[in-house]
Structure 1
Amino acid sequence: MDAAGNYLKKHTEALVKAVGVEAACEVTGKSKATLGRYYSDHDEHADRFMPVDAVAALEAAAGYPHLTQALAELSGAHLDYDERRPNDNTVGGVNADVIALSQRFAMLMAEYQQSIADGKITVNEAKRLLKETTMLQQVLVDMKLHLEDESV
């Protein structure tokens, strides 16, 4: 098994153990033996990896994206973990998202107006603008998820 496979196996094990083996079995509908195969480093299990739906369910239960983070690192990407839980409370759905989108955009514009007032944007001002832009992006992701939920 290559280094990337070993790395993913170790993170799979960390994910299962973060949730607890018994709870992981309940969350995924898989047996202890099956879960064990997903993180086993024995040659006969080298090509077995956890299905993505099981990973998503376990990461939600764990409260941290162990394998998603590992995959990002292997591809050279960087993830910023946002501890808030989008779409946990779907009250309001798309209507609430439109309001949140308007509010976030207004906050971004206010930050921009304040930052550009002296004719240049400093490093700290750019960081604040980036934070507001990221929050606006998160609202759009939430809205996309709500729209996908409603179109099913």
Structure 2
Amino acid sequence: MAIVGRYLKKHTEALVKDVGIEAACALTGKSKATLGRYYSDYDEHAERFMPVDAVAALEEAATFPHVTAALAELKGISLEFTETRSNDRSTGGVNSDVIALSQRFGMLMAEYHQSIADGVISATEAKRLLKETLALQKVLIDMKLHLEDEGA
């Protein structure tokens, strides 16, 4: 399977797990088995990817647009969130963002330190690092939006 295919399948899996498998089934009208095939890395499922309408339905319910972000990253594009999320832009401002950024970065470094202690980053450790990286990315996006609001 091509590297791009594996990358998209990993982000598809993250999307389904973000929403929850039962909720993902209800939102897409697909079975657990079908959803599993969309992110399976077995050769028999190498060419099987989640349809765009299913991705859109899941990303509407997810905390982060995993597949859309992956596609953007593959093309060298950065995304900008305009919808108010749990980190409401109307509260806090840049000072709160700097504090949150420091905290999230500290958590990422702690996770990295723990993961690299034995000299190898396992698949589970990589997933935890990815989760922390995505949380840090969300804080950076909020900070960017606050700075744009102040500059307007």
TM-score (ref. length: structure 2): 0.55
Deviation string, structure 1 residues 32-87 (Cα, Å, up to 9, x no partner) = 000000000000000000000000000001132110000000011111223427xx
Query: Which 5+ residue runs of structure 2 have no aligned equivalent?
Result: 86-146
Identity %: 69
Aligned to 1:20: 20
Unaligned runs of 5+ in 1: 86-126, 133-152
Deviates more, 1:76-85 or 1:29-38: 76-85
- d(CA) in 1 for partners of 2:20, 2:9: 16
- The verdict on how the C-alpha distance between 1:129 and 1:42 changes in structure 2, with shifts beyond 3 A counting, is same
Q: 2:38, 2:50 within 8 Å by CA — same for their partners in 1? A: yes
Structure 2 Cα separation of the partners of residues 71 and 45 of structure 1: 20
Q: 1: distance between equivalents of 2:55 and 2:77?
A: 19
In 2 relative to 1, CA 128–76 (structure 1 residues): closer, same or farther, beyond 3 Å? closer
Cα gap change, 1:60 to 1:128, in 2 (>3 Å): closer
Amino acid at match of 2:81: Y
Runs of 4+ aligned residues of structure 1 deviating over 6 Å after TM superposition are none
| In the alignment, structure 1 residue 39 sits paired with structure 2 residue 39 | yes
Aligned positions, number: 91
Tell me how far apart the structure 2 counterparts of residues 129 and 25 of structure 1 sit (CA, whole Å).
38
Q: Give the direction of change, closer, same or farther, for the CA distance of 1:129–1:58 in structure 2 (3 Å limit).
A: closer
Contact 2:18–2:63 under 8 Å retained in 1:
no
**CA distance, structure 1, for counterparts of residue 150 and residue 76 of structure 2:** 21
Query: Which AA in structure 2 matches 1:29?
Result: G
- Greater CA radius of gyration, 1 or 2? 1
Q: Would the alpha carbon gap of residues 23 and 72 (structure 1) be closer, same or farther in structure 2, given more than 3 Å must change?
A: same
TM-score normalized by structure 1?
0.55
Aligned to 1:4: 4
